[in-house]
Amino acid sequence: MTEHRVIVDALNIDYPAARVVNNLSFTLGNERLALVGESGSGKSMSARALMGLVRKPGIVSANRLNVLGNDLLTLSTRRWQALRGNGIAMVLQDPRYALNPVKTVAAQLDEALTLHQRLPRAERLARIHDIIRAVGLNEHVLQRYPGELSGGMGQRVMIAMALINHPKLLIADEPTTALDVTIQAQILALLNTLKAETGTAVLMITHDLGVVAEVAQQVAVMYAGQVVEQGSVEAIFADPQHPYTIGLMGSIPSLGARKGQLSTIPGAVPLPESMPEGCRFATRCPFAQTRCHAEKPQLTTLGAGHQVACFRVPLEQHIALGEIA
């Protein structure tokens, strides 16, 4: 039986003006799961809820919100401090804002260790050197300050800080967005290698399905605060069924699989305070019917864990990805 390191059941995140995450449910075992969607889809806010970082006046509620056996809805401040950085760790988008500019890399790695573990100095130094080598950096980097690092080096340092306490869950929030494509590929390969070596479960937050193909085993596609399609990467890439997923797939650059221009999805994600009455994607959907504007579709199972929230599935015909506009 698969150990569930994360159990999210009917997660809602509410602010006074609107609900920004609606009825989100998923589980994560010893695997890699990606939450995918445009900016404003609620994916990063969902990750913050798992780290206890949703600030007031935001209110987090759920039938169940459990990480590593901890009920996050009732967790004390002291337990949160023990869990963050130790059981759960997070890699943020831009190391320029996440690393302390006046401390060396070595000092920040040492601080991450001493916050959670009581180790002799020699053992701390050994672990610092081990982790910096594990992320593919030269040990000379330890004496540098964040401002002296390239974007790729800074992101590797962030990953090292996240993994130095051997967490069971790593949340990576758009970890490659600020990097060029070459460095991006290196970071994704590094995450895959570290996952295989350490057994750390990974929750990847991204807007890029190309990243999902490289890193994830399971994927949940989010739109306007809720999941519209989820399943294995193989199932969703082989047969995407929600029009939003198909639109995202059509925007992935390819060297030879597609002719003509990349497709785009017209319009924008609706604001939380002005969500459509029915399907939240209906105002942008090329297949929307009258029913779609009035009723909310529920997730239905197509087979082998592949679920879609759309009245039109299975779609009457396979749509060439480049034709979605």
b/e per residue 287-298 (b: at least 16 CB within 10 A): bbeeebeeebbe
- pTM, rounded to two decimals: 0.88
* Lowest-confidence pick of 73-82, 160-169, 229-238, 258-267: 258-267
Q: What is the mean pLDDT of residues 98-121?
A: 92
3-state secondary structure of 77: helix
As given in the structure block, the two tokens for residue 294 are: 């009035």
Mean pLDDT of the chain, nearest integer: 88
The percentage of residues in the chain with a pLDDT greater than 70, rounded to a whole number, is 92
| 242-277 residue pLDDT tens | 999 988 887 665 544 545 565 678 889 999 889 999
Per-residue pLDDT at 95 exceeds 60: yes
Residue 73, by phi and psi: left (phi above 0), alpha (psi -120 to 50) or beta? Answer: alpha
Per-residue pLDDT at 322 exceeds 50: no
Do 13 and 73 meet the contact criterion of CB atoms below 8 Å apart? no
Q: Using the 8-state DSSP alphabet, how is residue 84 labeled?
A: B
| 150-159 residue pLDDT tens | 988 998 999 9
3-state secondary structure of 313: coil
pLDDT at 94: 80
As given in the structure block, the two tokens for residue 59 are: 């209110």
Q: What is the DSSP track for 4-45?
A: -SEEEEEEEEEETTEEEEEEEEEEE-SSEEEEE--TTSSHHH
pLDDT at 262: 59
As given in the structure block, the two tokens for residue 42 are: 């609620």
Per-residue pLDDT at 163 exceeds 80: yes
b/e per residue 170-204 (b: at least 16 CB within 10 A): bbbbbbbebbeeebbebbbebbeebbeeeebbbbb
Per-residue pLDDT at 316 exceeds 60: no
pLDDT at 199: 85
Which burial class, exposed, middle or buried, applies to 58 when counting CB atoms under 10 A from its CB (0-12, 13-18, 19+)?
A: middle
Ordered by where they begin, the domains of the chain are 6-87+165-323 (3.40.50.300)
Q: Measured between alpha carbons, how far is 292 from 309 in angstroms, rounded to an integer?
A: 11
